[in-house]
Structures are given as structure tokens and as C-alpha cells.
Structure 1
Amino acid sequence: MTMTTKVLSVSVPVADQDAALKFYTEVLGCELRTDIEIWPGARLVEVAPPGSEVSLLLLPRDSEIPVATRLGTSDARAAHDAIRSSGTTLHNDDLIRMEGVPAMFSFADPDGNGLVYLEDNS
């Protein structure tokens, strides 16, 4: 199994999601891909350059959604087990499963940078 299949998205911490959205779309020419409230108070704003497979998540610094680099993996359960066995501290005891969203979990690299694995079978 190849554990990491691709980079899916990178979080950009922002002070104001509306101002950031305007900058990334109107100034930088990115397209809006997603602007939804995942749960009350947790807004996910996703933009990307046209044609790009990698997107940017514009998240408040204090967001409940992890400010992280999101990586694809072909098997989230196997990746979770491998990360755990490496001694890396996981932020989730088990996979997070939400309707309509791939299985995922979060952790940090040795420098404290946030990482999220999402099961990606594309």
C-alpha cells in the first residue's frame, strides 16, 4: 500500500473568511469550490486555481476544523494503524466518519504541523 496518494488541500489560517475569499477569488483568480457550514459555527471555505487538483481551505486560526495539510490515502484504517504504530500522537482515537465525507483522522508531524489523512479512492 502506498500510504500517501496525493495532496488534497492545504489550510490557510485567516482572520476573516469573507475578506480572504474576496482576495483569493477576485485578486488571485481562484475559483470558489465550497462554502458550507459543516456544523454550527464551523464554516469551510475552499478555493483553488482553475484546473488545480489541490485546493486551499480558508479557515479561522481558532477553527474547530483542523488547520492542516490534507493528504489522500487509499486505506484510512491501515494509515491510522501505521501512524499509531510509529509512535506519532494521533488527534483521533479512531477514524472520523461523517455522512458524505471520506473516513479521516488527524495528527501532527514531528514539528507540530497539522496533517489529516482522508480516504481517497479516486
Structure 2
Amino acid sequence: MITKVKFVSIPVKDQQRALEFYTQKLGFEVETDQPMGPGQRWIELSIPGAQTGVVLFTPPGQESRIGTFFNGSFATADVEKTYEELKARGVEFVQPPKKQSWGTSAIFKDPDGNQFVLSSEK
């Protein structure tokens, strides 16, 4: 039986720039970084404390996905605190923390314009 989602893919234009953003600004860790075809690398990152990781890779023919809204959400115990920490590291937010009946969320983007929801764990 399936036990978890191992990783999700984030389409990026410049893999090196994306790698620096996700490791230096978001604190993700490199699990794999190896060549994969002409001009591409397979870059798999882990999120400290999480079972699911991300891959910075754009399959051929999927370039139109770069800079779109990520269909998922990153969770944190304290959205406001994480927002302040990431903002201090230079992460650009398109929506500051906003309280809803279900919890709190904010929206940030990476250097390629991909947008991500940062939400409360529960």
C-alpha cells in the first residue's frame, strides 16, 4: 500500500537560483543533486522534520507551469513567526498572514514567480 507522498515537483527556470533560494532562504536540505539529461539536474530537497520533500525540476513540455500557483500548501506551527523569519531572509510575500475560520495563512513566491501558501498546521 502507498504510505506517503515522497516529493512534489516545483517547476523552475533556473535550477541553481532555485536551489539557493530553497536551501538558503527556506532552509530545505539537499538529498540529491545530479545530472539528468541535457542541461537538467535532478535536485531533490528534504524539508527538516517532514516526510515529504520537493524536486526542483521541469519536465520537457511543462515550461508553461513555471511561475504558476502551487497546488498545495506548506505548513508551520506559527504562520506569523515564520512569515517574519522568511521576510527577514528576503522571501517575497504577496499576502501577509491572514486569519480565517480554519486557521492562518500567508502566500509567498520563489524567484521564478511560483506562489505557495504557508498555512497553520491545523
TM surpasses 0.5:
no
Scaled to the shorter chain, the TM-score interval is 0.3 to 0.5
Q: TM-score scaled by structure 1?
A: 0.44
Q: TM-score scaled by structure 2?
A: 0.44
